[in-house]
Amino acid sequence: MDLFSLIALCKKILQPTVPKTLVDQYVWAVVTHVLGRTKTELMTHPPHITKSTRARVNQLLSLITVHHKPIQYILKTVPFLDLMLDLEPPVLICRPETEMLVDQVITMLKPYADQQLLFLDIGTGSGCIALSLAKAFTRSTVYAVDISPIALSLAQKNAQKNNISNVIFVQSDLFSSLDPTRSFDLIISNPPYISSAEWETLEPSVKDWEDVGALVATDEGFSILFAIIKKAKEHLNMTSILTRSGMPQLILEIGHTQQKRVKAMMQQHSFSSVTVWQDQYGKDRAVWGAL
């Protein structure tokens, strides 16, 4: 069996149990764990799948379909771009939509790879965004903040695991513990944006395992998004090369129905060229703007 036949088989097994938007992520989590290689490595050099490998994959798939425990918590690891991240409950599981967004951001910023930029990742969780940026832009420094000491501890472990040293970790409620004199070239965040009502409709694999504080916000899910937007300009470098180039300096992941209010709030707070970005499922998933 080849790699892509195995991927197709895994999807078929998981589809009746796992939410449609999570099937791909679950499949790659299983396959990368069993084969001990990153998604990038497997796609570049697809291996032949032995019977023993297939048996190990099937064993893990059966645990998911029976117990509804997120595969990432079962495996205690998750691939994200070309990183392998440790993961433990209740730290938020990295979503494929976030992975695609970060890949897009890295592609946009590649022309500035030789610059010494300063990034801020708000609500870093496992560190997936901060560490990806730090690995892609080795001359730059990334500040990774989170209110949760559990999340920060895990993110620090992931930095060590992936041999990434250009990240500074800060326990902070949004901007509150940051040096007010320090200005960033880019602020990026995947903040809590789910409403309390929406939380009640989520799958048990989310509600029973993940940190509600990393997912749910008041004001119908908008409170944290708006808090970041209102304070962002105070913490952005107005003379940054990104400013001069008209590049985005605030990037926020959102719920797929929140784009109008978030876009309006960003425009109200002096952001221009505000753009709504769609994920791989055709849903509005992020909003970004330039100063």
Pairwise CA distance, residues 160 & 128, whole Å = 13
Report pLDDT for 273.
94
* Closest to 131 in 3D by CA, of 118, 113, 149, 144: 144
pLDDT in tens, the chain (291 residues): 999 999 999 999 999 988 888 899 889 989 998 999 989 999 999 999 999 999 999 989 988 887 777 888 888 988 899 999 999 999 999 988 999 999 999 999 999 999 999 999 999 999 999 999 999 999 999 999 999 999 999 999 999 999 999 999 999 999 999 999 999 999 999 999 999 999 999 887 788 889 999 999 999 999 999 999 999 999 999 999 999 999 999 999 999 999 999 999 999 999 999 999 999 889 999 999 998
User: Does residue 227 sit in helix, strand or coil?
Assistant: helix
Range of the domain at 248: 96-290
> pTM of the full predicted structure?
0.84
- Would 265 be classed as within a structural domain? yes
Pairwise CA distance, residues 269 & 274, whole Å = 11
Q: How many CB atoms lie within 10 A of CB 30?
A: 26
- Would 137 be classed as within a structural domain? yes
CA 190 to each of CA 99, 182, 193, 244: distance values in angstroms, whole numbers, following the listed order: 11, 21, 8, 25
Same domain, 169 and 268: yes
Q: CATH number of the domain that 59 lies in? A: 1.10.8
* Closest to 61 in 3D by CA, of 98, 20, 7, 97: 7
Compute the half-sphere exposure of residue 4: CA atoms within 13 Å on the CB side of its CA: 4
Q: Can you name the residues that pair with 48 across neighbouring β-strands?
A: 2
- Would 82 be classed as within a structural domain? no
Instruction: State both tokens at 15.
Output: 């589809």
Query: In total, how many domains does the chain have?
Result: 2
Same domain, 70 and 101: no
- Would 81 be classed as within a structural domain? no
Report pLDDT for 219.
96
Same domain, 10 and 113: no
Report pLDDT for 263.
97
CA 186 to each of CA 41, 137, 202: distance values in angstroms, whole numbers, following the listed order: 29, 13, 32
Pairwise CA distance, residues 125 & 156, whole Å = 10
Q: CATH number of the domain that 184 lies in? A: 3.40.50.150
Q: Can you name the residues that pair with 84 across neighbouring β-strands?
A: 79
- Would 235 be classed as within a structural domain? yes
Same domain, 65 and 149: no
Pairwise CA distance, residues 91 & 124, whole Å = 10
Same domain, 260 and 168: yes
Report pLDDT for 133.
98
Pairwise CA distance, residues 30 & 255, whole Å = 27
Same domain, 127 and 264: yes
Report pLDDT for 188.
98
Pairwise CA distance, residues 59 & 61, whole Å = 5
Instruction: State both tokens at 283.
Output: 């849903």
- Would 88 be classed as within a structural domain? no
Burial class (CB in 10 A: 0-12, 13-18, 19+), 54: middle
